[in-house]
Amino acid sequence: MDLSWSEADAAFRDEVRQFMAEKMTPEISRAGRLMTSVYSDHEASLAWQAILHERGWAAPAWPLEYGGCDWSLTQHYIFSRESQLAGAPSLSPMGIRMVAHAIVKFGTPEQKEFFLPRILTAEVFFCQGYSEPESGSDLASLSMAATDDGDHLVCTGSKIWTTHATEANWMFALVRTSRTGKKQHGITFVLVDMTTPGIQVRPLVMTSGEEVQSQVFFDAVRIPKANILGNIDEGWTVAKYLLEFERGGGATAPALQVMAEDIAQVAARQPGPGGGVLIDDPAFARKLADARIRTEVLEILEYRVLAALAGGGNPGAASSMLKVISTELSQTLTELALEAAGPRGRVYQPHATCPGGPIADFEPPADGYVSGEPWQAVAPLRYFNDRAGSIYAGSNEIQRNILAKAELGL
């Protein structure tokens, strides 16, 4: 496999780098640099999306006729890679990277005409209604009831771990419309206007203190059947298609490589256990070296998936492998960052960061004092948030089951 970029790809990479350097304001750059999870500050994310949309780059993976880019797979990878290397804040994936693809494939002409342009401008901002208090990794066991009432479905129940529910004005959700046959049957995929009467959003406080996720309660909420995506009782097909976009695509290795390099640099000036600097401690250096090697392995795997797609193939179970490796590697690096932060990494000071949601019950010091450097304030919040990485988008145990069945025949 040739890992070098072609002349045209190198030119595209330089174009993307120049765009990032010119358009990323100090405020947007700070929001990307001081992210405490995979979600960036909401206002900064919207501002960056507006800049990308003006250039036509907000949703490059969409079909060209709906606002996507006529890029090769390599160019898509380069754009993702350069965005992470530049420290750009992430865009919320629920609309652009997830439900939009399902709308393109399963939506009616009216649904496409209404939702797709508004997702690009963030006039429509989605959250995801999948998990329930008794239904997580076993998503097909969901039970939120949706009864048929003429032109509407009447929904009662709740969804949990709903990211950005407090900011979203629309939700895509799975509801139970039938209980006959196997549990995957009888699930329907719906698009829900969050202003509909009967919806109540209660923010959840994460271990980091952030309110990024919520529990959403539905009390006889009337959803027009015109908002069903696909067919009644066949929402599992839509959900499986959408999950392919949640678990794969893009480049994750570059951001982890940047994180590892940052840890190496700070460890070169942080005190170590033997009186020298931390990077000279054999135990720490060994863990960091192992993590850096794994980021290189991850990058090669991403290139292999890219090559398979470019050749017209399907990555198949490789998306599960990438999900497992990337999330567990990120957890390892956040542990090392917290270790490098030392005692100041144990100080709770979210005011020095750019969290992905409001901070509950925290009053910052009047003078804005920060103990240590901003990265030391980010370290504990990122550590706590990354604990969820091996759970969301299908737990890593589930991904390993997929690999065992698909690759080993177990």
**Bridge partners, residue 158, by sequence:** 217
Domain with CATH 1.20.140.10 in the chain: 248-408
Cα dist. 5→13, 82, 185, 225, 293 in Å? 9, 14, 46, 48, 22
User: Over the chain (410 residues), what is each successive 10-residue block's mean pLDDT?
Assistant: 79 96 95 93 96 96 92 87 90 92 95 97 96 82 92 96 96 94 90 98 93 96 97 92 63 88 93 90 96 94 76 71 92 96 92 93 92 93 92 85 87
CA distance 393 to 245: 10
CA distance 347 to 131: 33
Helices within 122-204 (DSSP H only): none
- Regarding beta strands 126-129 and 170-176, do their DSSP bridges make them parallel or antiparallel, or are they unpaired? parallel
Domain with CATH 2.40.110.10 in the chain: 126-243
CATH class of the region 126-243: mainly beta
- The per-residue pLDDT for 386 is 93
Residue type, 130: Y
- CB environment 295-307: b (16+ within 10 A), e (fewer): beebbebbbebbb
Helices within 90-204 (DSSP H only): 93, 100-106, 109-121
Please give the CATH topology (third level) of the domain spanning 248-408.
Butyryl-CoA Dehydrogenase, subunit A; domain 3 (1.20.140)
Residue type, 394: G
**Residue 13 carries which DSSP code?**
H
- The per-residue pLDDT for 315 is 65
pLDDT in tens, 167-214: 999 999 999 999 887 888 999 999 999 999 999 999 999 989 999 999
Is the pTM higher than 0.95? The answer reads no
- The per-residue pLDDT for 181 is 78
pLDDT in tens, 239-277: 888 876 655 456 788 889 989 999 999 999 999 887 889
Q: Which two three-digit tokens encode residue 328?
A: 């567990």
Q: Are 35 and 354 in contact (CB under 8 A)?
A: yes
